[in-house]
Structure 1
Amino acid sequence: MKDYKNILIIKMSSLGDVIHALPTLYAVRKNWPNAHITWAIHEQFASLLPGTPWVDDVIIIDKKQLKKPAYLWQLRKELHSRHFDMTLDLQCIAKSAIVSLLSGAPEKYGYWELREGSNLVNKALVGEHKYDHVIERYLDTVRALGGDVDSIEFPMPAYVDAEKSVKEKLACHGVDEDYIVVVPGARWIIKEWPLLNFGELCIRLCESGKKVVIAGASDDAEKGAFIENYVKNKNLVNLVGSTTMPELIELIRHCEIFISADTGPLHIANAFKRPLIALFGTTSPKRTGPYGGSHVHLIISPTSKATPEQPLVDDPDCMAQIPVDAVWSVYEQVLGKEL
């Protein structure tokens, strides 16, 4: 195994994808404990990264500037000044390949699925998990470089101030320790469970005496408002669009149970091994779902045609085929395990 001293990891987006790459960061640090590790990422996802000893430095990549020659020249100067001896591109698309190319590193690698011409820059590192979960595909890069992968670990950041502020927000609504986090949104509409279903589920949860916190990005504020108005119960707290990323991390870290469809915050819950209920249909959990552990409870639409080979299926009716009763039944099972 070559002794790399200065490593650049490239994974710029999105929320779930960055978290999927964290076990590879863990493995890189364990196999090259003395290396200086830098991570290139978009600013809105930088707070997902842990600090030392996992990541020594972070480079913010402005995706809106990547087509501008002046920005590329400045980025090249900055990257070259750091003298990387290896880049590990875990995104493997055009924009990440540009960063890899500009790094000046003599060795440029990516996982096997090189897309959008990234094969012209990076060398694919292929392993036995080529068609398995994306976490294993990323980890194969470490294995191919001669490293050992003994376990799958998610080094997550901890935010003391954000933990305090989110607890204060919850306390204003009478929420103390035990609460359920529900995230109704998703990156793509076809991945979402119907809002009415979420509303009916939240009614049952609230009427059972549980405190329910709905959360998500500011883009989903209308969804949060709809559920709040539909449920009309003091046990429901609407924090959709009202948390920073560090606050969202801490909100999920301390929740009792997490419930959502295939969305970024789901992978935060998985990284913390929180008991979670994940609803899938138009995407394949075998490729990008919460990975492993008894804390994971999957509910897959009976009409789902998504597979690891076809991970996204455009079926607008698929997710609606998951009934509220099915989710409630799994919730009762999870609650029984937690009591």
Structure 2
Amino acid sequence: MNRHILVIKLGALGDFVQAFGPFAAIRDRHPDAEITLLTTKPYAALAAACPWFDHVWIDDKPKMWQVTGVLKLRRKLASGHFDRVYDLQTSDRSSWYFRLMGGEVDWSGIAPGCSLPHTNPDRDHMHTVERQAEQLAMAGIESVPPPDLSWAEGDVGRFGLPGRFALICPGGAPHRPAKRWPAERFGTACLWLAERGIIPVLLGTQAEKAEIATIRGICPQALSLAGKTSFLDILGLGRRASVALGNDTGPMHLVATAGCRSVVLFSHDSNPDLCAPRGRVTLLRRPSLRDLTLAEVEQALVELLA
């Protein structure tokens, strides 16, 4: 019987959200076990709010040559006395932890020599959801149903939002500008929504300040929550919003996972076959998002709102 279990999921946000189902399936398979999640600091608060873990540990991700940090991590991992590890990160780093733990623990992942390997040679060509489900099936967890998110209730009442609103995610990774639809078109789409009685609510960080200013210049009715929401808040907002529109970015995974009808925009800078949000989602993809017209986005919104 596995009494002490470690789950590894370090990030990024979209990948973390798509591990909700596996997290829940692991808990269902081991209802009486003490389960610890190893993650990184940005996801610790969200992980602590989840009902699937007894403990959340933060991985500072020391470099291999940072001896003090590596030894500290090794002692931490040893202190858990883990019987089994589910490595859902399946990266070179997380596989290295198998060796750091001595290579004897029952391990689900891709670490060479592990006891429960995911052996599909095409795993890197699978969507994250199917890849993780197959990995768990090979470890004896045959079913990974959609997770119950009734716990995902951020304090969204404090925002004082209207009855009908749309979530808008115009940002994305700063180093990948090709993943962004032009802010001017987001602004016009927001105006289109506002004219139909659906108030646009802009999500993002201070890094999207310029895009949000552009959008509000075109659509003054838009409300900005940039820098004001936690991941848990975004899940709560997703459960209440009429629709969502955004680039291929982490918050759209939260929104879609919460059940919100969503239009997600992809360029050829990322592959939706591997990473697209799941749920009531319409995907629009062009090699360059500058070629995606406002009319196409509006039509997708019309169909979701029908």
User: TM-score, normalising length from structure 1?
Assistant: 0.80
Choose the corresponding residue for 2:117, options 115, 124, 141: 124
CA contact (8 A) 1:87 1:107 kept: yes
Choose the corresponding residue for 1:256, options 242, 253, 261: 242
CA contact (8 A) 1:129 1:137 kept: no
The answer for the alignment partner of 2:157 in structure 1 is 167
- Distance in 2, matches of 1:4 and 1:51, equals 24
Deviates most, 121-130 or 280-289: 121-130
The alpha-carbon deviation at position 268 of structure 1 amounts to 0.7
The alpha-carbon deviation at position 272 of structure 1 amounts to 1.3
Choose the corresponding residue for 1:24, options 14, 22, 25: 22
Is residue 2:183 matched to residue 1:195? Answer: yes
CA contact (8 A) 2:62 2:70 kept: no
Deviates most, 137-146 or 55-64: 55-64
Equivalences for residues 260-271 of structure 1 within 5 A: 260-271=246-257
The answer for the alignment partner of 1:312 in structure 2 is none
CA contact (8 A) 1:100 1:122 kept: no
Choose the corresponding residue for 1:10, options 8, 29, 49: 8
Equivalences for residues 102-181 of structure 1 within 5 A: 102-104=100-102, 106-110=105-109, 119=112, 124-126=117-119, 130=123, 131-149=125-143, 151-153=145-147, 155=149, 157-159=151-153, 162-163=154-155, 166-169=156-159, 171=160, 175-181=161-167
The alpha-carbon deviation at position 67 of structure 1 amounts to 4.9
Paired positions, count: 301
The alpha-carbon deviation at position 298 of structure 1 amounts to 1.6
The answer for the alignment partner of 2:303 in structure 1 is 333
The alpha-carbon deviation at position 98 of structure 1 amounts to 3.8
- Distance in 2, matches of 1:241 and 1:63, equals 26
User: Structure 2: any 5+ residue segments left out of the alignment?
Assistant: none
Aligned residue for 2:18, secondary structure, equals: helix
CA RMSD in angstroms comes to 2.5
Choose the corresponding residue for 1:73, options 60, 71, 74: 71
User: Structure 1: any 5+ residue segments left out of the alignment?
Assistant: 305-317
The alpha-carbon deviation at position 222 of structure 1 amounts to 2.4
- Distance in 2, matches of 1:72 and 1:238, equals 42
- Distance in 1, matches of 2:166 and 2:49, equals 28
- Distance in 1, matches of 2:50 and 2:138, equals 25
- Distance in 2, matches of 1:4 and 1:199, equals 53
- Distance in 1, matches of 2:293 and 2:100, equals 50
Aligned residue for 1:49, secondary structure, equals: helix
Identity rate of aligned residues, in percent? 26
CA contact (8 A) 2:9 2:16 kept: yes
Change (3 A) 1:240 1:82: same
CA contact (8 A) 2:38 2:59 kept: yes
User: TM-score, normalising length from structure 2?
Assistant: 0.88
